[in-house]
Structure 1
Amino acid sequence: MTIHPMESRYGRDAVRSIFDEEKRLELMLEVEAALARAHAKVGNIPEKDAVAISKAMKGVKIERVKEIEAEINHDVMALVKALAELSGDSGSYVHLGATSNDITDTALALQLKEFVEFLSEDLVNLKGVLLNLAKKHKATVCVGRTHAQHSIPTTYGLKFAIFASEVQRHMDRLDETKPRILVGKMSGAVGTQASFGKKGIEIQELVMNDLGINAAMVSNQVIQRDRHAEFLLLLALVAQSMNKIATEIRNLQRTEIAEVSEGFGKKQVGSSTMPHKRNPIIAERICGLTRVIKADAMASLDNIPLWHERDLTNSSCERVIIPEACVLTDYVLNLSINLLENLVFDKDNIEKNLNLSQGRIMAESLMIKMVEKGVGRQEAHEMLRKDAMKSHEAGIPFKDVLLNDKKVMKHLSEKELTSALDPKNYTGTAKEQVDRILKE
């Protein structure tokens, strides 16, 4: 029986499996085996015992661990007992010097290490899709909107270039974050490594080198939770960028705008009662799930102030928020890729909306042209503001109002006026900016 929609509806199996019970057990056993090998290398235990423990870990079954846990009510000690049972006489060396969080925190770092590979691939793929759209629509002129009102022309190429640049920043952040989050430890009960003797630092380094992650320079009983909070905040940033893209598409798919829309299958149903509906369900799903990821990141901040050398308040919280944030972020990224790859552009509506204001969106273009002709900027702005308001209130083309304004036309020829009113002549360096991102 599944309870959480993430188990069946939202998420990819490959990523879900990183955080399932079997995988967690496998990684905790790997940490125990690496610890035994480290003890052998520094001469604390015989090599043959480390080998025996490393072999025995492969035979530990989750059912046996759960059986022991039901008796003793401690998940890590249940694993230790199950591993010791299969290790024969070598079992007495299992978990030597370690505290539970040496195992669980280090195993969590290994889980995140695997997840980061998926996250990196997702971001690379997403950026590629956005760059393709930026290149394809570099010259697709559309109306820009500020405060949800028509402003001046822009291009769809620039829109997608901006999104691609944002994704690149997330890629940079991930690279910067990895050394801080992919960290394990062997610090003992309060961080002093007293249970490891004088070779505690060496043992910790050996274990982490064996596992391919960094060793914490200093810790108490836990890896400090600012690391995990930083990672979840990064996931929240990624998620909010997807929210931003999806929200833009939802707005552009409004019936009144209808410039861009999600792909729609031949047999797809939009509504159980309204046969005509074509709803932006993928974009809406993205927007909805990003709220959960943001909430997970907020919860991670409360895990930072643990009592003294540690308490257990972070544990139950993290068992929910870390898998949830990771699985959903990967899912949202892949939804976004699918959404963008199947976008439908309505060029007729793009053109219609460019002209919807009857030319008033070109008032700034005319103002700049008049300044070039020697008119003061403030004077030109006021003349064009009055004419734009007259055009709006009377519902007549801006050009017609301007042609009848002698104060304006004494500075411009009709040819210059027509050119300045053409949206395609007023996209500034949009193409060049797209080219810069394409070369990045």
Structure 2
Amino acid sequence: AKIRHDIMAVVTALSEVCGPSGAYVHLGATSNDITDSATALQLKDALKLINQHLNDLEVVLMELSEANKHVLLIGRTHGQHAIPMTLGFKFVVWLRETSRHIQRLEECTDRVVVGKMSGAVGTQAGLGPNAMKVQHLTMSRLGIMAADVSTQIVQRDRYAELICLFAIIASSLDKFAIEIRELQRPEIGELAEPFASATQVGSSTMPHKKNPILCERVCGLAKILRSLTIPALENVPTWHERDITQSSAERFILPEACILLE
């Protein structure tokens, strides 16, 4: 609290317990060598989990496509009846969209999960003649790649790309949920959320209601996730080699985006 600097508080505490070696704690490094690399580790774990769940969704949609390949329903354009199609075909459309998201996430991961050990402005001047080796050893120990080039920070186009991708994935889930909601209308009744009739209550005043609350939650959370793209994009510009306007926003939007999508 007295230092009013998160990294220097840790550095001071470590230095005090390391004896004479404490003089070498954080030597040549800068705060974002620590925080950006830590963010990469957190994102690595988060993206692994999100990727697994997208793969699970892909499997479910594949099974639904096969199971419903002969189930007829009416196709609709402009909200009006068009021509007949199959429910399996509708699921195939969702399946391929999900597959594209898996591919996008895998490609994006290589650009996002990167750390740095390059010092105050990215030149590694404070790390001496073996600076590149120090960075390589550090990132190898952490199990992440080093950014090919950085200033005091890893460039924020990387995080902006990730959150924009999250927003696209959320928009697809929003689309799937809207379709289920529309087809759950009593006058249509072609799809529906699971409803535990023995225990679940749809309304406090209308006992006949079976509201699509899960899909409605998906649609609502997708709106919030899409809104996070604005601060993510506004974090790309920075004064010279770095200012602090990014960090206050990132401490909210990065974990929030991961939680919302998950």
- Structure 2 length normalisation: TM-score? 0.97
Query: In structure 1, what is the equivalent of residue 249 of structure 2?
Result: 317
- The match for 1:229 among 160, 170, 173 is 160
Say yes or no: does 1:263 pair with 2:186.
no
**1:92 corresponds to:** 23
* Partners of 2:32 and 2:26 in 1: CA distance: 11
Aligned counterpart, 2:258? 326
Q: Aligned partners of 2:226, 2:135: CA distance in 1, in Å? A: 34
Count of residue pairs the alignment pairs up = 261
Per-residue CA deviation, residues 312-370 of structure 1 (Å, 9 max, x unaligned), is 1110100000000001111xxxxxxxxxxxxxxxxxxxxxxxxxxxxxxxxxxxxxxxx
Q: CA RMSD in A?
A: 1.0
Aligned residue among 192, 207, 228 for 1:296: 228
The answer to whether residue 219 in structure 2 is matched with residue 307 in structure 1 is no
Corresponding residue SS for 1:192: coil
Structure 2 CA distance for aligned equivalents of residues 329 and 156 of structure 1: 26
- Residue matched to 1:206: 137
Whether 1:133 aligns to 2:64 is yes
Q: Which residue of 2 is the match for residue 275 of structure 1?
A: 207
- Letter of the structure 1 residue corresponding to residue 242 of structure 2: R
Q: Give 1:380-419 correspondences, 5 Å limit.
A: none
Provide TM-score, normalisation by structure 1: 0.58
Which residue identity is paired with 2:261? T
Q: 1:247 aligns with which of 175, 178, 184?
A: 178
Alpha-carbon displacement from aligned partner over 1:386-422 (angstroms, at most 9, x marks no partner): xxxxxxxxxxxxxxxxxxxxxxxxxxxxxxxxxxxxx
CA distance in 1, matches of 2:112, 2:104: 12
> In structure 1, how many angstroms separate the alpha carbons of the residues matched to 2:48 and 2:15?
33
State which structure, 1 or 2, has the greater radius of gyration over its C-alpha atoms: 1
Q: Distance in 1 between matches of 2:76 and 2:123?
A: 59
Q: Secondary structure at the match of 2:81?
A: strand
Measure, in 2, the Cα distance between the counterparts of 1:236 and 1:87: 45
SS across alignment from 1:236 = helix
Q: Tell me how far apart the structure 2 counterparts of residues 146 and 249 of structure 1 sit (CA, whole Å).
A: 16
2-structure distance, mates of 1:86, 1:167:
50
Matched position secondary structure for 1:318: helix
1:144 alignment partner, SS class: strand
**Shift, 1:255, TM fit:** 1.9
> What is the DSSP-based 3-state SS (H/G/I as helix, E as strand, rest coil) of the residue aligned with 2:83?
strand
Partner of 1:337 in structure 2?
Answer: none
Q: Alignment partner of 2:82: what SS?
A: strand
Per-residue deviation at 1:160? 0.5
Which of 21, 24, 39 is equivalent to 1:108? 39
Give 3-state SS (helix, strand or coil) of 1:269's partner. coil
What letter corresponds to residue 216 of structure 2 in structure 1?
A: E
2: CA distance, partners of 1:165 / 1:189: 45
Identify unmatched segments of 5+ residues in structure 1.
Answer: 1-69, 331-440
Give how far 1:87 is off.
2.2
Work out the percentage of aligned pairs sharing the same amino acid: 54
Cα separation, 2, equivalents of 1:319 and 1:94: 25
Deviation readout 1:130-160 (Å, 9 max, x if unpaired)? 1111010000011000000000011100111
Unaligned segments of structure 2, at least 5 residues:
none
Aligned to 1:162: 93
Greater than 3 Å deviation, 4+ residue runs:
none
Deviations 1:250-297 (A, max 9, x none): 000112211111111121111122222110000000000011111112
